[in-house]
Homo-oligomer: A and B are copies of this chain.
Amino acid sequence: MSKVSPRTLSGFMELPPRQQMKLERMMEVLRRSYATYGFTPLDTPVIESAQVLLAKGGGETEKQIYRIPREGGDLALRFDLTVPLAKYVAAHYAELSFPFRRYQIGKVYRGERAQRGRFREFYQADIDVIGDGKLDILNEAEIPAIIYNTFTALGLRRFKIKVNNRKLLNGFYAMNGMAEKAGEIMRAVDKLDKIGPEKLKQLLIDEVKMLPCKAENVLDFMAIQGTVPEVLERLTNFRGMDAAFDQGLDELIAVTRYLKDFGVPEENFAVDLTIARGLDYYTGTVYETEMTDYPEIGSVCSGGRYDNLAEYYTDRQLPGVGISIGLTRLFYVLNEQGLLSDELVDAPCDALVIPMTEDLGFAVSAATALRGAGVRTQLYAEKKKFKAKLGYADKLGVPFVVLVGEDEIREGVLSVKDMAAGEQKKLSPQEAAAFIKAAVDAKNSGPVIKA
């Protein structure tokens, strides 16, 4: 029979088992962390009507979309989790209670040009809080705490949550008579990190067509740095010149006021006036998260406040705030950098039970007892040489092998071999279960990301 080559499409991540296990652990941490902050899990279809998905229309999105032709209206695969959320909230408005807090960890699809580290199918892990007409600023203030606790739970230590406010930026540009150029300026300032202040100034003069003095104003503003109180104090000097600026500053003060009560350490947080987030639907607080030792990776968790989640579907004003982790890309980068812990058990099982007699009754009972005690257990009954069986356990990274021979059956015990230590001891099935469980729990107590 002629064979079809079993290939996986380019740009689609398909992991070996031990790596998949690490990704699953990261997802589990995200689920638990998001749930701790009172977000409910949501699951929306991967396929939507193209008309619904592209209600906003146009741009890069439309070109990258995976489309399924259908008479009476094409279908399409979701390209983010925000548009399906907007649809969901608009469609289920009457059944929901607001603020509506949901998390969603799901695959999204973008037919981008394939390149190393870029994926066409990738997980996003989003949270959003949606208000009905209004949404208290405390919801924005809470976001840094969620980011902090999520990344800390993953094991990351050296990262910084950067916060800014779009009203503050727009107000600043307005008070400098540059309101209509705000978007262009923000895009230019986004390059500050890469090109430095001198080149940025030239860019603002040459391409954004700003007067040199105004370009300098922008650079001076972006140079405002320091602790949160320091930055806020310097911003206070601009008070009274523009209403939007003042409101933005008030929001920034409110967002930073309870940082300590939220448990966010100073060293993991900064007000950073250079960040703006490209998306034009953010209207207030914006967030980015940078891994201190890997700034080149860019932001690993971003988002912001928006005023109108579902304007393409409903007349209702639905303001919200949300953040998104590009999980597949984050996993890829962590893996590439060797930052994923190998301490945690990534084998399919904690104990491999190897029967060494014809009658398997005692071995099966032992496996049942181990499983009942919460030990992930595999029974290995294949006809192989003893060395091959141990080699199998070794290759999978199984921490414990449980040998069941005639001696063990007669004595009613199990020989438990610690594969890392090479030690072996005889224990009753109950003792073996407790021993293995405790050892595996200890191994798994550390975080997914190496500190």
Residues of A within 8 A of B (CB): 1, 3-9, 12-17, 20-21, 23-24, 35-49, 51-52, 55, 66-69, 75, 77, 86-88, 90-92, 95-97, 99-102, 107, 109, 120-121, 131, 134-136, 138-139, 142, 145, 149, 258, 261-263, 310-315, 347-349, 352, 360-362, 364-365, 368, 371-372, 374-383, 392, 395-396
Contact = CB atoms under 8 A, between A and B. Distances in A.
A39 B368 CA distance: 15
B313 A6 contact: yes
Contacts of A17: 40, 42, 96, 100, 102
Nearest to A131: B382
A443 B301 CA distance: 34
A84 to B, nearest CB: 9
A97 B382 contact: no
A4 B313 contact: yes
Contacts of A365: 261
Closest 7 CB pairs of A and B: A38-B378, A38-B349, A40-B348, A138-B381, A261-B364, A6-B90, A6-B313
B52 A7 contact: yes
5 contacts: A6-B313, A99-B380, A136-B383, A149-B371, A262-B368
A360 B255 CA distance: 12
Given A8-B91, A38-B349, A145-B368, A1 B312 contact: yes
A4 B36 contact: no
A313 B49 contact: no
Nearest to A91: B6
Given A75-B9, A91-B8, A39 B3 contact: no
Contacts of A149: 371
B4 A88 contact: no
A43 B68 contact: no
Contacts of A262: 364, 368
**Centre residue among A96, A97, A121, A362 by max chain B CB count within 10 A:** A97
Given A7-B49, A67-B68, A68-B68, 5 more contacts: A8-B44, A8-B48, A97-B396, A136-B381, A138-B381
B138 A44 contact: no
B376 A52 contact: no
A430 B149 CA distance: 19
A293 to B, nearest CB: 27
A36 B379 CA distance: 11
A194 B67 CA distance: 42
A121 B36 contact: no
Contacts of A139: 381
A395 B44 CA distance: 22
Contacts of A36: 371, 374-377
A310 B90 CA distance: 45
A8 B1 CA distance: 43
B258 A360 contact: yes
A344 to B, nearest CB: 14
B396 A46 contact: no
Contacts of A380: 99
A120 B45 CA distance: 10
A258 to B, nearest CB: 5
Contacts of A49: 7, 9
Given A3-B313, A261-B365, A313-B5, A121 B47 contact: yes
Given A38-B377, A66-B68, A377-B38, A4 B51 contact: yes
B145 A46 contact: no
From A39, A51, A349, residue with most partner B Cβ within 10 Å: A349
A442 to B, nearest CB: 18
B6 A52 contact: yes
Nearest to A375: B36
